Amino acid sequence: MKPVKRGGGWAAIWYTLRMARRVGWRQLWNAMRAKNTCKTCALGMGGQAGGMRNEAGHWPEVCKKSFQAMVADMQHGLRPEFFARFSIEELKALSPRELEWCGRLTAPLYAGPKDRHYRVIDWEQALDRIVRQLRESLPDQMFFYASGRSSNEAGFLLQLFARLYGTNFVNNCSYYCHQSSGVGLTDALGSGTATVTLDDVEGADLFFLIGGNPASNHPRLMRTLMNIRRRDGHVIVVNPVKEVGLVNFSVPSDLWSLLFGSKIASLYVQPHIGGDIALLTGLAKAILAREAQDRAFIEQATEGFDAFAEHVRATSWEAIEKNSGVARATIEEMANYYVAARNVIFGWTMGITHHEHGVANVHAIVNTALLRGMVGKPRAGLLPIRGHSNVQGVGSMGVAPNLKQAIFDNLEKVLGIRLPTAPGLDTMGCIRAAADGKVRAAFCLGGNLFGSNPDARFAERALGNLDFIAYLNTTLNTSHAWGRARETLILPVLARDEEPQKTTQESMFNFVRLSDGGPARLSGPRSEVAIIAEVARRYFDSRRISEALDLDWTKLQDHCAIRDLIARIIPGFEAIRDLDQNGKEFQIGGRTFHQPRFNTPNGKARFHVTALPPLCGEPNQLRLMTVRSEGQFNTVVYEEEDIYRGQERRDVILLNPEDIRRLGLKVDQRVRVTSAAGEMSNILVRPFDIKQGNALMYYPEANVLVPAVVDPRSKTPAFKSVLVTVS
């Protein structure tokens, strides 16, 4: 299969038309137009401005992914006969794509230790089964996981319930995603999210895009990058892989761009996997040598500069070049761009966070920005480009093992309750505790806990060691086949645009959106809030949550009542109380930095010394990254092909042609790929423009190979840095 010449464009439009044929034009159009936040990435389209509009009000803002996700939700419902016909073993034989396209879940499903098939049970039995588990377990034998698609309302309720139940074993998929960004940014600025708004990005004259592939994963950021180039600004891409869409992209809603394409990267830098710290240290070294640092800003608004500068000066160019794989001349060229720019944004994604040194990677980016005073003023700053459409909101709501002190205090004060104080557990921590038999049961609000885990065989064993697991999902996924406990329950939920009540979401720019919801497409699935509130009501036997507020779990079926609590408890969310009345979507206070004063105790931003991580691996080994293709959303595979990388299938390993030659391999030869965690056979060798010594395979399948090793600070697995041999 030939790769496309540029990203986006007609291919995206054709695909959309094909999707529309599948479910009906009018239906799809109406669904896309409804006032609901887009379901896919966290760029924050839709909401009250109407579907397909971004935070700057631009229309039409759509991408293939939003159509894919919508069409998947518009599928037919799965009939009970399906589960009588197909055994769990047979579900295991289905690919992630086949599972997704089986149809929407419509009825609660149950499988016990001896069952070979899931069977349909009624809601009464299902809810009672969960409550029985809660009664039989001790609070520290239960954990709660949430993905990032659920609403703020559902997230808030889930963590409140978990804490009143008595546990801090509460976490969300950000532990496998941007946690390193949250930790690294908080270290440096006292705040863990983007420091900028979309407007700021639109006004920048240089954008560093590090370790991300937005052409595929955040397509609507591409218009913004195109606009920067059109204003004579620049985009510097840092990525071991030459991603075609980052070189040239056709923004489908822009006629000129559609016809002729838009150049994206002004400079494309290809470091080794894990070479970013060395590269950015080199960039800082070049800036310091030119004395181009912003002295006034450093003096007035930062601390830790001297130790940082000393470390940078002491690091040799030789070490920098070797470790990053980038020549000094290229780094000097980056410095030329950086020194010439006035307003610079640093955006990054999983190429930065999915490492054992993920937090240090984020420190290195912040250092680079501080060096030239590019944080704490308009049109410049730091932008972790988030994944799931509401992953940031779910975190803000406290679906996290360690509550921020202010939230903890507010919860106790406002509700008049005592919260558990035993330490919480991150996602990998919970999986390990399951493997060790320390936790006995789990409750998963969305997501695919098995499929997203490193070391798939270990994850299967760990989850299999649980007595009970409940999954709340819209469609079937690999967790339901491979991530089963002795007893497994699957509950069908409504998608965001089918909710009977309004819900809210938070974008990666800290902007809170309101979604109207809409009519249910199928009878059967229930609202996430309704399920959590009902489980809690039954478990607590209708006891009141708070005497002070005269509040019980039945009242918390009402999303307005939940938003009222959020407004009282979560700092910065005061305006959420009246959101459904006045429709005023809002920017969360205290997170955007347009002044050089930060949320650290003394108001200063901190430099961090970042040692170069060793570039590991023997000569016969390759460093492997596991990434997304163009046709998937996380563990949900919509299409087998990856048109951007020119791959018609997913069981491939992409290698630099020089490595193929050096290792004595041939293109399209079948090989075995082995790592410390496992092996995959019958993988096809494919040549690709990837930095020599590095390799690429597709997630989630390649999770068999990823060891369960995490960054000690953020607990995020090193999904992008797996040593493998090919034979």
Return residues touching ligand MGD (CB under 6 A).
40-41, 65, 147-150, 173, 176-177, 210-213, 216-218, 238-241, 243, 273-274, 276, 349-351, 354, 387-388, 445-449, 451-452, 472-475, 477, 493, 495-496, 528, 625-628, 632-636, 699-700, 702-703, 706, 719-720
Give the count of residues interacting with Mo ion (CB under 5 A): 2
Residue 502 C-beta-side C-alpha neighbours within 13 Å: 22
Smaller CB separation from ligand MGD, 575 or 615:
615
Smaller CB separation from Mo ion, 177 or 535:
177
Smaller CB separation from ligand MGD, 200 or 455:
455
Q: Closest Cα to residue 435, out of 451, 455, 408, 405?
A: 455
Closest separation between CB of residue 219 and Mo ion, Å?
A: 16
DSSP-assigned letter for residue 647: B
Closest separation between CB of residue 172 and Mo ion, Å?
A: 10
Closest separation between CB of residue 148 and ligand MGD, Å?
A: 6
Smaller CB separation from ligand MGD, 473 or 510:
473
Q: Closest Cα to residue 712, out of 131, 180, 51, 144?
A: 180
Among 23, 62, 63, 177, binds Mo ion (CB under 5 A): 177
- The alpha helices in 248-398, defined as continuous H runs, are 255-260, 276-289, 295-301, 305-314, 317-324, 328-340, 350-353, 358-371, 391-396
Amino acid of residue 68: Q
Token pair for residue 96? Answer: 């992630």
Smaller CB separation from ligand MGD, 149 or 223:
149
Alpha-carbon distances, residue 122 vs 514, 524, 602 (angstroms): 32, 10, 57
Choose the contact partner of 447 out of Mo ion, ligand MGD, none; CB within 5 to 8 A by kind.
ligand MGD
- Judged by CB under 5 A, which stretch of 115-123, 177-185, 283-291, 367-375 contacts Mo ion? 177-185
387 sits near Mo ion (criterion: CB under 5 A): yes
Smaller CB separation from ligand MGD, 685 or 706:
706
Smaller CB separation from ligand MGD, 7 or 376:
7
Closest separation between CB of residue 387 and Mo ion, Å?
A: 3
- Judged by CB under 5 A, which stretch of 18-26, 174-182, 208-216, 663-671 contacts Mo ion? 174-182
Closest separation between CB of residue 514 and ligand MGD, Å?
A: 16
Please give the residue whose beta carbon sits closest to Mo ion in the complex.
387
Site string for Mo ion, 312-351 (x = CB under 5 A): ----------------------------------------
- Judged by CB under 5 A, which stretch of 112-120, 370-378, 379-387, 510-518 contacts Mo ion? 379-387
Smaller CB separation from ligand MGD, 468 or 633:
633
Q: Closest Cα to residue 482, out of 703, 235, 158?
A: 703
Question: Cα(629)–Cα(1) distance, rounded to whole angstroms?
Answer: 14
Smaller CB separation from ligand MGD, 381 or 492:
492
Question: Cα(323)–Cα(77) distance, rounded to whole angstroms?
Answer: 52
Smaller CB separation from Mo ion, 32 or 177:
177
Three-class DSSP category at 3: coil
Closest separation between CB of residue 163 and ligand MGD, Å?
A: 20
Alpha-carbon distances, residue 363 vs 189, 262, 426, 590, 607 (angstroms): 10, 32, 21, 21, 8
Token pair for residue 410? Answer: 């507010």
Choose the contact partner of 238 out of ligand MGD, Mo ion, none; CB within 5 to 8 A by kind.
ligand MGD
Tokens 């997913």 sit on residue: 650
Q: Closest Cα to residue 461, out of 708, 183, 102?
A: 708
Closest separation between CB of residue 149 and Mo ion, Å?
A: 11
Q: Identify the bridge partners of residue 349 per DSSP, sorted by sequence position.
A: none
Q: Closest Cα to residue 9, out of 349, 269, 267, 244?
A: 244
Find the helix packing angle between 305-314 and 276-289, rounded to 10°: 100
Choose the contact partner of 66 out of ligand MGD, Mo ion, none; CB within 5 to 8 A by kind.
none
For every residue of 43-94, which 3-state class applies, written as one string? CCCCHHHCCCCCCCCCCCCCCHHHHHHHHHHCCCECCHHHHHHCCHHHHHCC
- For Mo ion, the binding residues (CB under 5 A) are 177, 387
